[in-house]
Amino acid sequence: MPESDLDPIGGRDKPRDDEKIGGRYQVEEVLRETGFCKTYLAKDTQLPGDPFCVVKQLQPKSSEEFVLETARRLFDSEAKFLYKLGNHPQIPRLLAHLEVNDQFYLVQEFIEGKDLSQEEIAANPKPWNETDIRQFLIDVLGILTFVHQNNVIHRDIKPSNLIRQSDGKIVLIDFGAVKEITNITLTEGQSKLKELTVAIGTPGYMPIEQQNGVPNFNSDIYALGMTAVHAITGFHPDQLPRYDTGEINWQDRANCSLEMAAILNKMIKISSYQRYQNTSEVLADIQQLPGQKKNIIDPNVSHSPGSSSKIKKIVLFTGIFAILGIAAFIPNILGAVKALGHYERGQQLTEAGDYEKAIAEYNKAISIKPNFAIAWTNRGFAQGKLSRHLDKFSSCAQATNVAPNFAEAWNCKGLARFDLKQYELALQEYDQAIAVDEEFYRGWFNKGQVLIKLGRYEEAIAATRKVLAIQPDYFLAWTQICSAFFELQQYQDAKTNCQQSLAIKKDYKPTIEMMKKIQQKLQ
- Whether the pTM exceeds 0.85: the reply is no
CA 243-247-249 angle, 5° bins: 60
Mapped to the 3 state alphabet, what secondary structure does 334-365 carry?
HHHHHHHHHHHHHHHHHHCCCHHHHHHHHHHH
pLDDT for residue 336: 65
Q: Which residues pair with 242 in a beta bridge?
A: 248
- Please confirm, yes or no, whether 156 is among the known catalytic residues: yes
* Residues 220 and 148: beta-carbon distance below 8 Å: yes
Query: 3-class DSSP state for residue 194?
Result: strand
Per the rule left: phi > 0, alpha: psi between -120 and 50, beta: everything else, 387 is left
How far is Cα of residue 479 from the mean position of the Cα atoms in its chain? Answer: 33
* Distance of alpha carbon 263 from alpha carbon 216, whole angstroms: 19
- Beta-strand pair 52-58/94-100: unpaired
Whether 3-63+92-109 and 452-523 share one fold: the answer is: no
Rounded to 10 degrees, what is the CA torsion of 209, 215, 216, 218?
Answer: 70
For residue 398, count CB atoms less than 10 angstroms from its CB and return exposed for 0-12, middle for 13-18, buried for 19 or more.
buried
Q: Which helix or strand (DSSP H or E) is residue 137 part of?
A: helix 130-149
Helices (H), 386-474: 389-402, 407-419, 423-436, 441-453, 457-470
Q: Which amino acid is at 160?
A: S
pLDDT for residue 7: 34
* pLDDT average per 10 residues of sequence, the chain (523 residues): 34 53 91 75 92 83 63 69 82 88 85 80 67 94 90 88 90 61 27 38 85 84 96 87 82 88 95 90 91 44 37 44 44 63 88 92 90 90 92 90 88 93 93 89 95 96 93 92 96 95 92 94 89
Q: Which residues, 6+ apart, have CB-to-CB distance to 521 below 8 Å?
A: 486, 489, 491
* Distance of alpha carbon 14 from alpha carbon 29, whole angstroms: 7
Question: Which member of 44, 156, 174, 220 is catalytic?
Answer: 156
**Size of the chain in residues:** 523
Query: 3-class DSSP state for residue 108?
Result: strand
pLDDT for residue 132: 92
pLDDT for residue 515: 95
Range 3-63+92-109: architecture per CATH: 2-Layer Sandwich (3.30)
Question: Is 328-439 in CATH node 1.25.40.10?
Answer: yes
Q: Which helix or strand (DSSP H or E) is residue 378 part of?
A: helix 373-385
Q: Which residues pair with 26 in a beta bridge?
A: 20, 43
Q: Phi, psi at residue 186, to the nearest 5°?
A: -115, 140
Which class is 114-309 in CATH? mainly alpha
pLDDT for residue 381: 93
Q: Which residues pair with 248 in a beta bridge?
A: 242
Widest Cα–Cα separation across the chain: 97
DSSP state of 127: P
- Nearest alpha carbon to residue 434 among 425, 453, 447, 449: 447
Which class is 452-523 in CATH? mainly alpha
DSSP state of 64: -
The full set of domain ranges for the chain reads 3-63+92-109, 114-309, 328-439, 452-523
* Distance of alpha carbon 179 from alpha carbon 174, whole angstroms: 12
* Distance of alpha carbon 452 from alpha carbon 464, whole angstroms: 10
Rounded to 10 degrees, what is the CA torsion of 347, 350, 351, 354?
Answer: 140
Determine the straight-line distance between the first and last CA of the chain, rounded to whole angstroms. Answer: 96
Q: Which amino acid is at 14?
A: K
pLDDT for residue 25: 93
